[in-house]
């Protein structure tokens, strides 16, 4: 059989993605190799997922060890890795209860359903409204895509679930107008990732907390992208000093193995009585064993401090490159979630820049048409970071020169 090729994507797969021209076949640390053996520096991290790089020996060992023991039971029986992971997550965060699933979208679906159900139990069906923010991204299920604040993702998929209001991000006045006694929950990303790596003003998240408290609404932090160490804290809420009622986490939690989790308090979780929600694969032993190893690594001395060190270096160097070539209007973000907004002369050309980088051996991401996004592994070797930046400098020069 001939090796699969990029043309097979167009031939056999649904056309809802536009993958790059290369097919990586192997990865180690922050480097990957394609079918032709060409090497790339990975500054994309599988969209903020491979938090510890590719083929991390500790994660590979955890997966192999579990693979030899037990793969799947479903939730008719519980399993040791799930129990150990749930316990660890509660030790490390505000939460007392954990629900496992397989992705960020599913974690948010669970969070939104729980918020509705909790409000229903406490106050009846009138209290069902969800307040979300314009530009947010919460997943691709119909409920999460409707809650997300980007119309392009709901177009043509109606009728959509109702009872959802959208307010501008980072605008407490609008939030105060929308949040009322009918609000069961407010869902927000501590940093909006997909729509451009946008951090809110200091005080915004605390302001939402106050509004939620005033109206007995739950505050949901979608930390699917900001969580699992991405910002230099285990979860971004810890830096913000604002504790949510429900937190969703996925992406980096599994370091590349699919897992999602919804974290909450004992009181709120009590609404998810037997039979109200579930997942066949959620909490499966393989995923939980890997995530447990990820948490061990993330909480090992020095790892998160290393994120801040790398972030400072990356941000400074990106600002220098941006200014040198007049390419970036702004470099923003927290930790190793960084967005470089293109200067207005290059509006709409972020994808082109990303492709030019790939052609020169650097994998990067975009966040909307105007923002180059970088989300490397949290332990990326400094030499790899420097090599990626040197290439970016050269690509930026040629890009600007036309
Ligand atoms: N929430 C946020 C903030 C995200 O960035 C994403 C994915 O990009 C999701 C939810 C959806 O996660 P998944 O693709 O794992 O369903």
Q: Quick one: DSSP state of residue 1?
A: -
- Residue 174 CA to ligand 1 centre (angstroms): 25
pLDDT < 50 regions, the chain: none
DSSP sequence for 146-207: HHSS-GGGTTT-PSPPSSEEEE-TT-HHHHHHH--TTEEEEEE-SSBTTTT-BPPPTTHHHH
Q: Smallest Cα–Cα separation from 106: which of 238, 287, 241?
A: 287
Which atom, in ligand 1's list, is nearest to the CA of 141? 16
How big is the CA angle at 234 (ends 386 and 112), to the nearest 5 degrees?
120
Q: Smallest Cα–Cα separation from 43: which of 364, 361, 279, 333?
A: 364
pLDDT digits (tens, 9 = 90+) for 52-81: 999 999 999 999 999 999 999 999 999 999
Known catalytic residue at 137: yes
Max CA separation in the chain (angstroms): 64
For ligand 1, say whether the CB of 225 is within 6 Å of any of its atoms.
Answer: yes
For ligand 1, say whether the CB of 197 is within 6 Å of any of its atoms.
Answer: no
For ligand 1, say whether the CB of 262 is within 6 Å of any of its atoms.
Answer: no
C-alpha torsion angle, residues 254, 337, 114, 85 (rounded to 10):
30
- The reported pLDDT for the residue numbered 394 is 98
SS3 call for 61:
helix
- Residue 402 CA to ligand 1 centre (angstroms): 34
For ligand 1, say whether the CB of 317 is within 6 Å of any of its atoms.
Answer: no
Catalytic-labelled residue, pool 100, 118, 137, 328: 137
Which atom, in ligand 1's list, is nearest to the CA of 251? 15
For ligand 1, say whether the CB of 132 is within 6 Å of any of its atoms.
Answer: no
- The reported pLDDT for the residue numbered 210 is 98
Which atom, in ligand 1's list, is nearest to the CA of 105? 16
The answer to whether 256 touches 106, Cβ cutoff 8 Å, is: no
Q: Rounded CA gap, 69 and 98, in Å?
A: 24
The answer to whether 72 touches 285, Cβ cutoff 8 Å, is: yes
Q: Rounded CA gap, 53 and 261, in Å?
A: 21
- The reported pLDDT for the residue numbered 1 is 77
SS3 call for 76:
coil
Number of Cα atoms under 13 Å in the Cβ half of residue 396: 22
Please give the structure tokens belonging to residue 86. 């749930």
Q: Smallest Cα–Cα separation from 236: which of 199, 265, 262, 263?
A: 199
CA 331 to chain CA mean position, Å: 19
Q: Rounded CA gap, 48 and 268, in Å?
A: 29
Which atom, in ligand 1's list, is nearest to the CA of 260? 15
Q: Smallest Cα–Cα separation from 129: which of 168, 162, 106, 175?
A: 162
Q: Rounded CA gap, 341 and 377, in Å?
A: 21
How big is the CA angle at 203 (ends 202 and 206), to the nearest 5 degrees?
135
- The reported pLDDT for the residue numbered 402 is 87
Q: Indicate the top mutation candidate among 220, 251, 256, 375 to test ligand 1's pocket, ranked by most ligand atoms within 8 A of CB.
A: 251
For ligand 1, say whether the CB of 256 is within 6 Å of any of its atoms.
Answer: no
């Amino acid at each position: 059989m001939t090796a699969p090729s990029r043309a097979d994507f167009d031939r056999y797969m649904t056309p809802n993605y536009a993958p790059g021209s290369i097919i990586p076949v192997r990865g180690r640390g922050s480097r990957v190799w394609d079918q032709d053996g060409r090497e790339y520096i990975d500054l994309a991290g599988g969209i903020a997922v491979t938090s510890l790089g590719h083929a991390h020996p500790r994660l590979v060992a955890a997966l192999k060890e579990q693979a030899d023991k037990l793969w799947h039971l479903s939730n008719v029986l519980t399993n040791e890795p799930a129990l150990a992971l749930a316990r660890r997550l509660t030790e490390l965060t505000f939460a007392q209860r954990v629900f496992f699933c397989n992705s960020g979208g599913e974690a948010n679906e669970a969070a939104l359903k729980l918020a509705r159900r909790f409000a229903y139990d406490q106050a009846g069906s009138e209290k069902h409204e969800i307040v979300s923010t314009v530009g947010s991204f919460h997943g691709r299920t119909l409920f999460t895509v409707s809650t997300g604040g980007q119309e392009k993702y709901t177009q043509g998929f109606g009728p959509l679930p109702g009872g959802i209001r959208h307010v501008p991000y980072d605008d407490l006045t609008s939030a105060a107008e929308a949040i009322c006694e009918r609000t069961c929950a407010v869902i927000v990303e501590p940093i909006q990732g997909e729509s451009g790596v946008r951090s809110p003003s200091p005080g915004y998240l605390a302001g939402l907390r106050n509004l939620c408290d005033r109206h007995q609404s739950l505050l949901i932090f979608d930390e699917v992208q900001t969580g699992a160490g991405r910002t230099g804290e285990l979860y971004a809420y810890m830096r913000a000093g604002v504790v949510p009622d429900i937190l969703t986490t996925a992406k980096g939690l599994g370091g590349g193995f699919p897992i999602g989790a919804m974290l909450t308090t004992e009181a709120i979780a009590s609404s998810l009585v037997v039979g109200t929600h579930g997942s066949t694969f959620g909490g499966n032993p393989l995923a939980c064993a890997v995530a447990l190893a990820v948490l061990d690594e993330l909480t090992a001395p020095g790892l998160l401090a290393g994120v801040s060190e790398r972030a400072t270096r990356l941000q400074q160097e990106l600002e220098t490159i941006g200014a040198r070539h007049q390419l970036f209007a702004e470099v923003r973000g927290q930790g190793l979630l960084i967005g470089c907004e293109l200067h207005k002369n290059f509006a709409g050309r972020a994808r082109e820049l990303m492709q030019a980088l790939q052609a020169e051996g650097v994998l990067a991401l975009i966040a909307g048409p105007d923002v180059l996004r970088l989300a490397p592994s949290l332990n990326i070797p400094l030499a790899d970071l420097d090599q990626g930046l040197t290439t970016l400098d050269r690509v930026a020069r040629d890009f600007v020169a036309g």
